[in-house]
Amino acid sequence: MPYGYEKYRLENNISPNTTRTEVRVINELIAFVNFKYKKEIEPRDIKPIDIREFLLEQKKERNLKDATLNRKIITIKNWYDFLWKINKVERDFMPKFSLPGKLDKTKENISIDYGYLLSKKREILQSNHIRLYAKMLFILYMRGFRVRDIVQITLNHIKDTGDRITIKIEKSNGCIQVAEFIDEEIGVILDCMERAVFRGTSYLLSSKVNDEYIPLQLGSFKDYINSLKDGLGVPFKSEQIRLAYVHYLYTKENLRAEELQEILGLSLPSVTLSIKEALERVQVIHYNEQ
């Protein structure tokens, strides 16, 4: 369960965190219909009314916002598209699926002060209580790297010129993302590179599975990010940090969209959309720095 969907999404460069959330929604849907009919139900036997009842029950019991509900609908639509492609369902009814009434698709605001996070960088990177990989994720998140790109960074993507380190990757969208690192960041990156060499893997961040080192896995991400959250005292989510970074570069550093292309590894239209979303969603707050 759910019929190879998790592997399919990861192979299509969907981030581990997103994939984990999607799989949880699908498993909850399957559990709901199995309970409803008192037996195991195949995807081809699930009806639109079953999905509608599942979503409305979740909305009521969990007091879900419309934006969250809409994400669940998108997840189920993507799953049914996958099931249709592998011939697990004869008809994909999800493109025409809807709930009664009109959903508010407005995304939630992001309350993050990127400047505050920058001010905490030295403390985070020099801490004896925060693990090496958590520090590396802090560095990469703060530079706008997506999870699906982070797990693909290898030693070949890294250039050490002594006073700075450059990471340059070609993304699945065909764009190039480049970031330069200095000062305390260099030590963290070098330690990660040394660990990769010791482990005999080319991946900058890796997990051991069946006596083999592979790209850093989903469960590990959660543990490292939680430790950062504890250290910072604020949420630390990839998408939110990336948009806060865009907001900071555009409003504080006064960078133009064209200048953000290589920094973010996005096409100009995508950069423009990211700026628009950042300006709409990011609400800068000033944390208590005591």
Structure tokens belonging to residue 247 = 């907001």
User: How does pLDDT run across 111-156, given as a tens digit for each residue?
Assistant: 888 998 999 999 999 998 899 999 999 999 999 998 888 988 999 9
Consecutive H or E run containing 129: none
Domains and CATH numbers, the chain: 5-96 (no CATH), 114-281 (1.10.443.10)
Which residues sit opposite 98 in a β-bridge? none
Query: 288 pLDDT exceeds 60?
Result: no
pLDDT band at 286 (very low <50, low <70, confident <90, very high): low
User: How does pLDDT run across 37-94, given as a tens digit for each residue?
Assistant: 898 888 889 988 999 899 888 888 888 887 888 889 899 999 988 998 888 888 888 8
DSSP string, 244-279: HHHHHHHHTS---HHHHHHHHT--HHHHHHHHHHHH
Query: 198 pLDDT exceeds 90?
Result: yes
User: How does pLDDT run across 247-257, given as a tens digit for each residue?
Assistant: 999 999 999 99
Distances (CA, A) of 268 to 121, 177, 218, 258, 271: 29, 13, 30, 6, 5
**Other CB atoms closer than 10 Å to residue 257's CB: what's the count?**
18
User: How does pLDDT run across 218-258, given as a tens digit for each residue?
Assistant: 677 878 888 888 888 777 888 889 999 999 999 999 999 99
pLDDT band at 285 (very low <50, low <70, confident <90, very high): low
pLDDT band at 289 (very low <50, low <70, confident <90, very high): very low
pLDDT band at 21 (very low <50, low <70, confident <90, very high): confident
Are 208 and 196 in contact, with CB atoms under 8 Å apart?
A: no
